[in-house]
Every structure is written in structure tokens, then in C-alpha cells.
Amino acid sequence: MYATRPRKDLVILGALLGVLAPANYLAVAVLGMVPGAILVFWTLLFWGAAVLFVVGSSLERGRGRTA
């Protein structure tokens, strides 16, 4: 069902998320509460959209395979 090789888009998403998560905390510490919180909000919004896109595209690929 699953490929033995990791999917490139998931690896890239995971790597970027691993880099950006500490950067968000650093931004809150450096910029202050309000600008840092706004930056964190937009980053989380972006990652939510990216994850939904990846999950949706993989679901569509799976549906295309079974049909």
C-alpha cells in the first residue's frame, strides 16, 4: 500500500516545519508578543494549507490508482 521510499514532498514539508518551528519561537522573543504572534499565525495558516494540499493530492492519487 505504501511505498518503501519516503515521499519527497512530505520530507520537504517535514524539514521546513522542523526549521520554522524554532524560528517562530525566536521571532516571538525578538519581535515581541504581537508581531511574533501574527507571524506564528500566518506560518501556521500556511502550513495548514500545505498539509491539506499534500493530503488531498495523495488522496486523489490513491483514488486514481484504485479506479
Asked if the structure places residue 1 within a domain, the reply is no
Tell whether the model's pLDDT for residue 67 goes beyond 60: no
Give the Cα separation of 26 and 24 in Å (integer): 5
Q: Based on the structure, what is the number of domains in the chain?
A: 1
| Domain-located, residue 2 | no
Task: Determine, yes or no, domain membership for 56.
Answer: yes
Provide the CB-side half-sphere exposure for 57 (13 A, CA).
8
Q: Which domain holds residue 46?
A: 8-66
40 located within any domain: yes
- The answer to whether residue 20 is domain-embedded is yes
Instruction: Give pLDDT tens digits for 6-59.
Output: 677 777 777 777 777 777 777 777 777 777 777 778 888 888 888 888 877 777
The set of cell numbers assigned to 20 is 520554522
The answer as to whether 21 is a domain residue is yes
3: in domain = no
How far is 50 from 52, CA to CA, in rounded Å?
A: 5
Alpha helices in 1-67 (DSSP H): 8-31, 33-66
Question: What pTM did the predictor assign?
Answer: 0.40
